[in-house]
Amino acid sequence: MSDRKTIAVVGATGSQGGGLVRAILADKSGEFRVRALTRDTKSPKAQELQQAGAEVLHADVDDVESLKHAFEGAHGVFGVTFFWNHFSPERETAQGTAIAQAAAATGVKHAIWSTLEDTRKAYPLNDTRMPTLMGRYKVPHLDSKADVDHVFSDLGVPTTYLLTSFYWDNFIHFGMGPKRGVDGKLTLSLPMADAPLGGITAEDIGRCAFGIFRRGNEFVGKRVGIVGEFLTGQEIASRFTEALKESVAYQAVPSDVYRGLGFPGAEDLGNMFQFFAEQEKDFAAARPVQLSRSLHPKLQDLRTWLAENKSHLKFD
Ligand SMILES: NC(=O)c1ccc[n+]([C@@H]2O[C@H](COP(=O)([O-])OP(=O)(O)OC[C@H]3O[C@@H](n4cnc5c(N)ncnc54)[C@H](OP(=O)(O)O)[C@@H]3O)[C@@H](O)[C@H]2O)c1
């Protein structure tokens, strides 16, 4: 028991981190034990993880000292930050930096940092094809994660840079699924033109992270992109049609229209979809599906995810 390697998981009660916690708890090899980090060790979700066999410890990514305490003695750390809780790219970069600093201070052997592309490499700030947001960003919630990457390497933390993908779960929780129009028909509206969208279940992100930890040092210092599959808007609508046994049409919304929808984060997400659509080749090249499947053989595609989750979809 005592020679098991501890993996400390930030965001353990959430989607990505939760997937990793469940993967470690389900692993029969006995190589790892899991330390689930939360701001509230008494919450029902934290208690549930404890009862399932996780060590549960307090940590807050706004407090580097709490992270140092939480990472003490751990072999590995999974780091994720929470842009949509506060919508501040600077705060997200500070949170990611705190994770890197705590990992360095505690001598962690392997960190996996959940990151995304720096979209300013494809669209410099003076590039008028895409509006600059908040003065320093093209896609704030991607760029703010990318801004942390160098901190891990500068501090000498043995790190795998995990490039995640669009959650299929957004069709439920982010209100991005098909909507019923006044004519009674279902339409899936996405600003992806005819380009493929790379998607994955949030749970599978954590499962793939576990696959990386299991493969030892193989991916240390590397960027590993993960995805379930790539599907065009038309193909996604067809999967919904098949699962719901009701016709779902795809409507390609122009990026400018999406940016102007007025909900919090609409401009950020409009830019993100423009980046996904226009940079589709580079985005896909960074995410070979076979690699994701080798990390997690039960990786879900949209069809299998919909079969399990379609009852949670809301169409209004
Ligand atoms: N939606 C997408 O398509 C997508 C795709 C790729 C990447 N992402 C990125 O994924 C990130 C979010 O990850 P997620 O979906 O796994 O999050 P999530 O499901 O929203 O989980 C957030 C968890 O993090 C914990 N948390 C929140 N603030 C914290 C803090 N200050 N310190 C420590 N823990 C904190 C909360 O746990 P406690 O309350 O227990 O502390 C919560 O359970 C975002 O940055 C987003 O940009 C999203």
Which atom number of ligand 1 is nearest to the Cα of residue 16? 16
Nearest CA to ligand 1 atom 44: 82
312 contact partners, CB below 8 Å, separation of at least 6: 172
In this structure, are residues 274 and 191 in contact, taking their beta carbons and an 8 Å threshold? yes
Confidence of residue 268 (pLDDT cuts 50, 70, 90): very high
Give the Å distance between the CA of 205 and the centre of ligand 1.
12
Model pLDDT for residues 210-238, shown as the tens digit of each residue: 999 999 999 999 999 999 999 999 999 99
Q: What is the largest CA-CA distance in the chain?
A: 63
The phi, psi pair for 280, rounded to 5°, reads: -60, -35
Mapped onto helix, strand or coil, the DSSP state of residue 291 is helix
Mean pLDDT of 3-18: 97
Confidence of residue 58 (pLDDT cuts 50, 70, 90): very high
Which of 57, 78, 82 is the best mutation target for the ligand 1 pocket, counting ligand atoms within 8 Å of the beta carbon and taking the most? 82
Give the Å distance between the CA of 14 and the centre of ligand 1.
6
Which atom number of ligand 1 is nearest to the Cα of residue 17? 16
Residue boundaries of the structural domains of the chain: 5-312
196 Cα distance to chain centroid: 18
Model pLDDT for residues 167-207, shown as the tens digit of each residue: 999 999 988 999 999 999 999 999 999 999 999 999 999 99
pLDDT higher than threshold 80 for residue 1: no
Give the Å distance between the CA of 260 and the centre of ligand 1.
26
Confidence of residue 159 (pLDDT cuts 50, 70, 90): very high
- Residue 187's pLDDT is what? 98
Mean pLDDT of 252-275: 97
pLDDT higher than threshold 90 for residue 108: yes
Which atom number of ligand 1 is nearest to the Cα of residue 95? 31
Which atom number of ligand 1 is nearest to the Cα of residue 61? 32
- Residue 50's pLDDT is what? 98
- Residue 3's pLDDT is what? 87
Q: Which helix (H) or strand (E) holds 67?
A: helix 64-71
47 contact partners, CB below 8 Å, separation of at least 6: 56
Give the Å distance between the CA of 290 and the centre of ligand 1.
26
Q: For residue 239, what are its two tokens? A: 């999967």
Give the Å distance between the CA of 78 and the centre of ligand 1.
12
- Residue 175's pLDDT is what? 87
Q: Report the chain's mean pLDDT, rounded to a whole number.
A: 97
Classify burial at 81, counting beta carbons within 10 Å of its beta carbon; exposed 0-12, middle 13-18, buried 19 or more.
buried
Q: For residue 181, what are its two tokens? A: 């129009």
Q: What do you get for the CA distance between the two ends of the chain, in Å?
A: 51
Residue of 23, 7, 53 lying closest to 205 (CA atoms): 23
Mean pLDDT of 76-86: 98
Give the Å distance between the CA of 80 and the centre of ligand 1.
7
The phi, psi pair for 261, rounded to 5°, reads: -70, -20
Give the Å distance between the CA of 16 and the centre of ligand 1.
7
Confidence of residue 48 (pLDDT cuts 50, 70, 90): very high
Which atom number of ligand 1 is nearest to the Cα of residue 92? 45
Q: What lines the ligand 1 site, CB under 6 Å?
A: 11, 13-17, 38-40, 43, 46, 59-62, 80-85, 141, 164, 166-167, 170, 202
In this structure, are residues 196 and 257 in contact, taking their beta carbons and an 8 Å threshold? no
- Residue 152's pLDDT is what? 98
Per-residue burial over 198-231, b = 16 or more CB atoms within 10 Å of its CB, e = otherwise: bbbbbbbbbbbbbbbbeeeeebbeeebbbbbbbb
- Residue 2's pLDDT is what? 62
Architecture of domain 5-312: 3-Layer(aba) Sandwich (3.40)
Q: What is the pTM of this model?
A: 0.98
Nearest CA to ligand 1 atom 14: 15
Model pLDDT for residues 83-106, shown as the tens digit of each residue: 999 999 999 999 999 999 999 999
Where are the strands (E) in 127-202, listed by range?
A: 159-163, 166-167, 179-180, 186-190, 196-200
DSSP 212-280: HHHTTTTTTT-EEE--SEEEEHHHHHHHHHHHHTS-EEEEE--HHHHHTT-STTHHHHHHHHHHHHHTH
Mean pLDDT of 120-148: 98
